Homo-oligomer: A and B are copies of this chain.
Amino acid sequence: MASIKDVANLAGVAVGTVSRVINNAGAVKPATRDKVKAAIEQLNYVPDEVARNFKMQKSKMIALLLPSIWHPFFSELAYYIEDELDREGYKLMLCNSGGKPEKELYYFDMLKQNKVAGVVGITYNDIENSVSTDIPMISIDRHFNKKITCVTSDNFEGGRIALRELVKAGAKKPAFLGNVPFVYSETMLRKEGFVHEAKILGVPYEVYEEPDPLRDEDKYYSTFLNRYQDIDGVFAITDMAAAKYIEKAKEAGIRVPDDVKVIGYDGIQDHPFFHPLLSTIRQPVEEMARTAVRLLLKKTEGETLDREVYQIPVTYRAGETT
């Protein structure tokens, strides 16, 4: 592989000049520029990015730290994040934490060692202190502090819409279902919005927010089914939770949407084998992804952002469950 020195030799100029040509920085006589370009061409020279990163003390690499790329919501998010990064000449490093705090911390160390330019994080840790000011960071759906800007959908408004749509679909007594065992999460605002709107409209409602729905799902849902037998609407905190509820409800002989209307949150169903098609509050995943990237890149350039939390509007998408 030819280096900048080889180019300089062949063109009969100094390495500094070649550098200026490559980066379009500083003044270079047209004649010199042509000579250099010819040499570059002839040697098939491309700058060594690693050397550049080293000298510059930073790389054009952004890390995406999330629980699991396998989850459809995250994989869609990752798709758009990569796309936006690529447009800006950045690369994406993918880190699955499995939602394990210790692995998140391990990744943060690694990322620091590798001098990544920034991190988009979907984390379960109280990372407030772990990361702090070292690396520019954007968080999706988690609001830690002013250093870590948060991009999220308008969860509160989403909750309000969900309640209204359940009522519109005929539900007399809807329930909220779901929990995030995590203080910093913005997603519990979905519940707040739901409750807020129910109070405004004077609609009776229930809220089921047992902790830790991840282990012993069977019990989790059967408890819910037993406790609130008179409900006729469910707003689940995620599509995944909605789908699980529907499955368990079906087993218990409850028909959706005849007996119970169901609305989820996310809108991840873009494949032909998703059935039933959920009624859901659709997160603008693409816009969230691109916003997160753009904000992050601003941060890496030293700009300070004007807000701590950026909320992207959501829309309701009617499916087969209301």
Please report A residues at the B interface, Cβ cutoff 8 Å: 46-51, 53-54, 57, 59, 61, 64, 68-72, 75-76, 78-79, 82-83, 86, 91-96, 109-110, 112-115, 239-240, 242-244, 246-247, 269, 271-276, 278
Question: In the complex, which residue of chain B has the Cβ closest to the Cβ of A217?
Answer: B272
Among the interface residues A51, A94, A273, which one has the most CB atoms of the partner chain B within 10 A?
A: A273
Given A54-B51, A272-B244, A75-B82 contact (CB < 8 Å): no
**Which listed residue, B50, B51, B53, B278, touches A273 by the CB 8 Å rule?**
B278
CA distance A247 to B49 in the complex (A): 48
**Which listed residue, B47, B92, B273, B276, touches A93 by the CB 8 Å rule?**
B92
CA distance A64 to B112 in the complex (A): 22
Question: In the complex, which residue of chain B has the Cβ closest to the Cβ of A134?
Answer: B1
Known: A50-B53, A64-B94, A69-B82. 12 other contacts (CB 8 A): A46-B109, A46-B112, A49-B114, A69-B69, A69-B78, A72-B75, A78-B94, A93-B94, A240-B273, A244-B272, A246-B273, A273-B274
CA distance A239 to B274 in the complex (A): 12
- Min CB distance A290 to B, Å, is 14
- Min CB distance A159 to B, Å, is 21
CA distance A115 to B50 in the complex (A): 7
CA distance A247 to B240 in the complex (A): 22
CA distance A204 to B5 in the complex (A): 69
- Min CB distance A99 to B, Å, is 13
Given A79-B70, A79-B96, A94-B82, A50-B114 contact (CB < 8 Å): yes
Is A271 a contact partner of B240 (Cβ separation < 8 A)?
A: yes
**Which listed residue, B59, B75, B276, touches A50 by the CB 8 Å rule?**
B59
Give the chain B neighbours of A112 by CB distance below 8 A.
46
- Min CB distance A210 to B, Å, is 18
Give the chain B neighbours of A47 by CB distance below 8 A.
113
Give the chain B neighbours of A274 by CB distance below 8 A.
273-275
Q: What 7 pairs between A and B have smallest CB-CB spacing?
A: A243-B273, A75-B75, A275-B275, A54-B54, A243-B272, A70-B79, A94-B94
Question: In the complex, which residue of chain B has the Cβ closest to the Cβ of A115?
Answer: B50
CA distance A140 to B69 in the complex (A): 19
Question: In the complex, which residue of chain B has the Cβ closest to the Cβ of A64?
Answer: B94
Give the chain B neighbours of A95 by CB distance below 8 A.
82, 86, 91-92
Is A82 a contact partner of B96 (Cβ separation < 8 A)?
A: yes
Is B46 a contact partner of A50 (Cβ separation < 8 A)?
A: no
